[in-house]
Amino acid sequence: MPPKLTEKTFVKDMKKLLFIAAILTFHLHAFGQSKSNAAQEQQLLSYLQKQDYAAASKYVDSVYQENTNDPVQLAQLAYAHLMAGKLLKSEAQYLRIQQQHPNNLAAIQGLAGISLKRGNIKKAKDYYREAIRVDSTNALSYKQLASLSSKGPQDVYLAYLKKANSLDPGDAEVAVGLGNLYVQKEEYSQADAVLTPAIRADSSNLRLLELKMPVHIAAKKYEDAVATGEHLLAQGDSSTMVLNELGKTYFLLLQYQKALNCFLKIDKKEMSEETLAYQVAQSYRGLRDYKSAIPYLENSIREGISSKTASYYGVLGDSFERINKNQEANAAYKEGLKFENNGSLYYNIALVYENKLNDKKNAIEYYTLYQKTLDQNKQAKTIKFIKSKIEELKR
């Protein structure tokens, strides 16, 4: 699945957000700009477009006075310093803007960005909530809150994503985050409602197209799912999700060889081995190659069983013993033998037969089985003890 929208998306969004908010918002509110100011702004824009933030920072320091109260100049200083990593300077300038204009959205969002760069997630959230109070229609503030809430309660993360999406349906990152949640919940109609307008806005976005595949499958639009999957492969996207969804689609279309080809290309580390092995086995069965299917089915069964299952049965058997339900104890121990174990269950069963059920014949049988699991070099004393036990019971 595509990843959640997280705080890692911050840098790209802040470039977009602060560039527009800090440079253009104040410019629109500035009156009577001189030609010299226009030339300075053009030079600054040139540095920012080239992402030469160090040069931009030096430039604004050279053309504007540090103690300026002009909001446009302060905005340009704050933004350039923020992108150059001069957080203290940037913060001071945004705070000065906020003192002049308490509800200025660009200043609030700039301070949120500085808090986030410093790792102060709580403070960043507070600023973004303040930004929403100032402008409840600002999609980017909701998007940032969603990214900062991705590791918390899912209902909060979902609420912010839904709001951001409602305000800007064409934002691909928000659509991916929200669409992914809906696909995970198998709420495919909601996922489709989110993905369709986002794809309309950016039909070349591979993450959006990835999520469209399970939506197509759920709607039984198998040909559409195949077309999308093959397009993604042609674009170089051979991710586990694409190969798995495409393989499942080919299987549903009874095109077993193509399904098998997809499943076999999936990296085992990227997917549940139990599920992958079963899908490969089913594809072989579709091709009537039962011999090839068998080892994959065996692997699927093996992967589906916890390595601790035998231990669980051991504890269950011991619990029965402690309340003198000895038949039930041995039944539990024997169930544990069906799974991987270190041989200790044989010993437990033998003890029950010997000491609780007075069944020497079965006690000998299980002591013998236990002896065979012992290492002759490392457990010589134990082997000697078990042999003496067996001899004693035979008398």
Which residues have C-beta within 8 Å of that of residue 143, sequence separation ≥ 6?
5, 13, 160, 164, 168, 171, 173, 174
Which of the four pLDDT bands, split at 50, 70 and 90, describes residue 58? confident
Which of the four pLDDT bands, split at 50, 70 and 90, describes residue 22? very low
| pLDDT digit string, tens, across residues 160-171 | 999 999 999 999
The pTM of this model reads 0.73
Two structure tokens written together for 224: 């559409």
Two structure tokens written together for 24: 């253009």
Whether 255 and 246 have beta carbons less than 8 Å apart is answered as no
Q: How far is CA 142 from the centre of its chain?
A: 20
What are the CA-CA distances from residue 118 to residues 14, 158, 216 (Å)?
Answer: 14, 25, 42
Which of the four pLDDT bands, split at 50, 70 and 90, describes residue 30? very low
CA atoms within 13 A on the CB side of 72: 17
pLDDT at 14 over 70: no
| pLDDT digit string, tens, across residues 221-279 | 999 999 999 999 999 999 999 999 999 999 999 999 999 999 999 998 888 889 999 99
Two structure tokens written together for 286: 């579709």
Domains located in the chain, CATH noted: 7-167 (1.25.40.10), 222-303 (1.25.40.10), 309-394 (1.25.40.10)
| pLDDT digit string, tens, across residues 271-303 | 888 999 999 999 999 999 999 999 999 999 888
Which residues have C-beta within 8 Å of that of residue 265, sequence separation ≥ 6?
238, 243
